[in-house]
Each structure stands twice: as C-alpha cells, then as structure tokens.
A = this chain, B = another copy of it.
Amino acid sequence: MIRMRDLSLLTDFYQLTMAQGYCVKGKTEEAVFDLFYRENPCDNGYAVFAGLEQVIEFVENLEFKEEDIEYLRTQGFKERFLDYLRDFKFTGDIYSVPEGSVVFPKEPLLKVEAPILQAQLLETPLLNFINHQALIATKAARITEAAQGKSVLEFGLRRAHGPDAGVYGARAAVIGGCSGTSNVLTGKKFGVKVSGTHAHSWVMSFESELEAFRTYADNFPDSAILLVDTYDTLKSGVPNAIKVFKEMKDKGIDSELFGIRLDSGDLAYLSKEARKMLDQAGLEDAVIVASNNLDEDIISSLNLQGAQIDLYGVGTKLITSYDCPAFGAVYKMSEYNDQPKIKLSDNIEKMTDPGNKKLIRIYDQRSGEIRADLIALKDEVISADRDLVLFDARDTWKTTTLKKGNYQLREMMKPIFKTGKLVYDSPQVAEIKEYAEKEKESLGAEYKRLTNPHIMKVDLSDKLYELKQKLIKENKIEK
C-alpha cells in the first residue's frame, strides 16, 4: 500500500502523449473544455452533481514528483517534456455548478479554461471523480425518493469497487439523500452520521440467540437493533428480541433507539407480522429496519404492500448503482485560441455545443420551481426584464414564452479556480446535503417520478444556436 497518496499519474496515457505533443510543438494557446453528460442514469429525470471537492483537492495537489518523472522517462517521454512537468502547476480557471445541484443532460456542469496542455491533463481525473460521485448521488436520490420520507442508510462498502468507491460513494450517497452510512472512514473524513448493529456471526458466537441479543442490548442500550433472522425470524428472532426489550424496560432503560433488523425472506410479510408481535408486546416504539438487496423498485413495492419498515439499509444496489453502473460524463473542447470548436457526429445528439458558455437556470416566479435551463455564450447578457422565448434545441418549432415578471434567473456555475488560485470554499457534506434537498424541492413532482419522468427543457440561447448551425455548415463533409 502506497501510504503517501500521489494521484498525479491517475490519468490515461494518451493525456501525456498529447501533452508532450503540445509541449514539443510549443502550443500554449488557451482552450476551453466543458464537462457534461448525455443521459440521466437509470432513466431518472435529473442527476445530482457531486465530486467537486475531490476535483479541487486533485488540482491543488497536482505536481509531478521526481519518481513520477523517472517513471515517465522509462516510458519514452522526452527530456524537454519531463522538464516541463517538473515545474508543472495549474494556472487556469475552473468554473463549476456546486455539489448537490440538480442537473440535466447536455448542459455544461464544469468548465476549464487553460492552456490546452493543462486543460487536457485534467480530463481523466476530473471525469473519474465526477462520474463516480454523480452516479451514486443520483442513485441515492432515486432510492430516497422511493422511501417516501423513511430514512435510508448506505450499507454497501463490502461490494464497492475498492476503498475509494466505498468512501467517496458513501459521501455521494449522503449528498444524494441518505441519512447516514455504515462506512466508518466516511464518517471520520466527512463528519457524516455512521450507524450499524451486528451480524449473524455475533449470534452464532453465543450459546443461544437470546444470550447474544441480551449481551448486545446491554452493550448498546441506545442503539439496540437486533438482527432476527439467524435461525428463524418469527419463531425465534422476534420472540427473543421482544424478551430482551421487555427486560430493558423492566430495568428502566429508556433506549434512544431499539428494534429489529430483517435481512432475509419476505420483507413485506415479515415486517407486518413482526410489527404485530412487537405492538402486542407493548413495544410500539420499537423500530423495524430492513436490508437485503434493496433498491428503489423493491422499496416502492414494499411501500405499496404496506410493509411496516421504518428504516432501509441499502448496500450493493446503491454503492454500485447496480442497474446503471456508469455516469457518462465527457469532457469536450468547445474553444481553442478564442475560436469556438465543435465535434461533429453522424448522431446529432453527440454533436457538442461550441464556444465559451454559461448555464442559466430559469425558475417560475410563483412556485419557485425550475422551469427550464438555458445555455448561453459567456458574454451574452441574459436578463429577466423582458419576455423570454424558450425553444427546443432539436424540435425548434416547440416554443414557450415566459412573461417578464413571471420568471427568475440564476447563473449556475461558480468560479472555483482563477489563474490557478483556489477561490472557492467547499461546503461541508452536511451543507451540501441540505442544499441538495432544496434543489430537489425546486423540481416539480413529475420530474422526480422514478419511471418516465418529465424531461426538463434545456434550451440554447439564440446566439449559441446560430453559432452551432454556422459551425456545423463550415465543418460539414459531404457524405
């Protein structure tokens, strides 16, 4: 284990071959790159942006140590380029939407303005951080939406793709909506709530389930959640748990949190039966926690069946975003040496939006809900003191007019680095989580629906639309 963590070589080899090419060719012109994604994961109506704090840490720490240089020399890189890397420091600007923002496909979320070599070198690590955390934050938003106000805990470390996937995945899960995590390192690093109870092995290490429960409750009277399915949930686990809870009450212990955890079998049936048994024993305040391969679909189904579950523990399906384990953010050049650039494609969806841009969010004045997003050129003045006509970038005949006074504007990207200097304070995870909750509140219910949600309108300004058409014409190759 390399205990000193040096991530500067966390990149694709071609970023370095290109960088050497730019260096040797003396190409120092400024480029602008946009980070954006094309489709919401799991067909959700939106995504939750996350990972910016790790981007900042990476950029702040980006330097090539002698051992990195030495390694690159063995890979055939030229001395002139290695000399350049030895003194490397990021000197450009970075703009980004804040973590926890609700975002939509095709809009710029993060923008890098820097000499092309520098901007290019950030591509892979930035995508790595954002693709991971935006994925898990979005999945967590779906799962907590399904839980309809019940708490969801992240329990997936053992199935995460290595330590970082566990630690930063839990961070993103909390940003996306989870109340806490079982991951102790995430708790320590980010100050988020950690929780957990015991495993089957605890029960198996005692002569009897009853003794195991009693010992656990003695040790943790304020979070005595007993796992009841080691032998038989309703015949053994729940009766033994009830016995122990009654003993606690008899001893006058007023527990903050106590109850049972179901981890196998028919959770709808078992939770209803267990609820009855607990209630009949006068333990209305005992909670029922459920885990075992849960995701948003199973939680929705449990709700529909009237399952009596107070708290969900979600592991594999959240920490891997099981049914959609990649967030497809890409990083594309939109300007080079002050010239707007476009990447063409046979598929119009894959064409990029040229030019140095900004992202403006349009809110309905009365409801406070998001009405649409508008991508405009950086220097365009977009003001709310006139009627605003929105049109669909693809089906341009679809237009909507927003009357002056009925809408509000908000510029979404904030400066993070200016000429290489960090100008942004990353909020604590708890603040980001709170901001994300407000962001989700600003979305109409139809955009949060888990299946077939409304698609948020993401408009191009007239000027940007015209620029794009012009560049498509100029760059077109006859088929």
Contacts and interface: CB of A to CB of B under 8 A. Distances in A.
A68 B188 contact: yes
Interface stretch (A98-106, A163-171, A401-409): A163-171
A189 B21 contact: no
A128 B162 contact: yes
A248 B143 CA distance: 56
Contact of A14 (B27, B169, B198): B198
Contact of A128 (B16, B157, B216, B231): B157
A250 interface: no
A220 interface: yes
Contacts of A265: 346
A31 interface: yes
A96 interface: no
A24 B219 CA distance: 8
A12 B184 contact: yes
Contact of A13 (B3, B18, B68, B194): B194
Contact of A163 (B25, B128, B232): B128
A160 B165 CA distance: 9
B158 A128 contact: yes
Nearest to A346: B265
A343 interface: yes
Contacts of A204: 333, 336, 341, 343
A205 B200 CA distance: 59
Given A5-B4, A132-B160, A198-B17, A477 B235 contact: yes
A345 B263 CA distance: 11
A236 B15 CA distance: 24
Contacts of A320: 161, 320, 325-326
B159 A326 contact: yes
Nearest to A337: B205
A230 interface: yes
B75 A187 contact: yes
Nearest to A329: B158
Interface residues of A, number: 114
B236 A477 contact: yes
A1 B58 contact: yes
Contacts of A157: 10-12, 124, 128
Contacts of A75: 187, 194
Interface string A262-299: 00110000000000000000000000000000000000
A55 to B, nearest CB: 11
A123 interface: yes
A182 interface: yes
A211 B45 CA distance: 43
A331 to B, nearest CB: 8
A178 interface: no
A2 interface: yes
Nearest to A33: B201
19 contacts: A1-B7, A2-B5, A2-B189, A9-B188, A10-B157, A13-B194, A21-B202, A116-B205, A159-B326, A161-B164, A161-B169, A161-B320, A161-B325, A162-B162, A162-B169, A201-B333, A204-B341, A235-B478, A325-B325
List 4 A-B pairs, minimum CB-CB distance, nearest first.
Answer: A14-B196, A162-B164, A13-B196, A161-B165
